[in-house]
Amino acid sequence: MRILGIDPGSRVMGYGVITIDGTAETYDAGGSIRLDTNASHQKRLQTIYREVEALLDEHLPDACAVEMPVYGRNPQSMLKLGRAQAAAMLPPLNRAIPVTEYTPKAVKKSVTGNGNASKQQVAYMVCAMLSLQTDTLGLDATDAIAVALCHAHRHTADAPQRHTDWASFLRANPDRQG
């Protein structure tokens, strides 16, 4: 399964693409798209939409995971961030690619074990998990990769476990023994 993770923003949008094969997680691509801050908000939304379309064309993901804005001090900034999120979600939705939203806390907890981890801690763990150099990606990219990893961890956790024999079932379910 190939997952496109997106960390939306109205100034910078991070993206990351990973492939999951069983329990193996592989980094495919990641980066950030810097939006022209001199352009109108509408033009930036259009750029987000087009850039996500290009990522879909290039990487052909099976799923898309997007970090959702949950709070902010400035209502106007939150509105802009929500619009950026919508612009990032529409291209995969238009192609019938499932989109799942995750809160920042859920993403951080999935990758670091701590829902209050810093961006630097998230970046460190993402790079450690995928054997990447910590200085090759920016924080927006590592945040987006973390979103994709969060989706992968949730997806595999929700998948039914298949057991080849009774002993493996009992090892996986010690509370079910006699």
DSSP letter for 151, please: H
- Answer for the pair 117, 128: CB distance below 8 angstroms, yes or no: no
Catalytic residues: 7, 67, 140
List the chain domain ranges: 2-176
State the pLDDT at residue 169: 53
Question: How far is 89 from 85, CA to CA, in rounded Å?
Answer: 6
Tell me if 103 sits within 8 A of 137, measured CB to CB: no
Q: Could you read off the pLDDT tens digit of each residue along the chain, which spans 178 residues?
A: 999 999 999 899 999 999 999 889 999 999 999 999 999 999 999 999 999 999 999 999 999 999 998 776 788 888 999 999 999 999 999 999 999 999 999 999 999 998 899 999 999 999 999 999 867 889 999 999 999 999 999 875 544 444 455 665 566 656 555 5
pTM: 0.85
Question: What tokens were used for 25?
Answer: 């997680």
Compute the distance between CA of residue 82 and CA of residue 99 in angstroms, rounded to an integer: 15
Give the pLDDT confidence score for residue 175 in this predicted structure.
58
pLDDT value for 78: 87
**Assigned CATH topology for domain 2-176:** Nucleotidyltransferase; domain 5 (3.30.420)
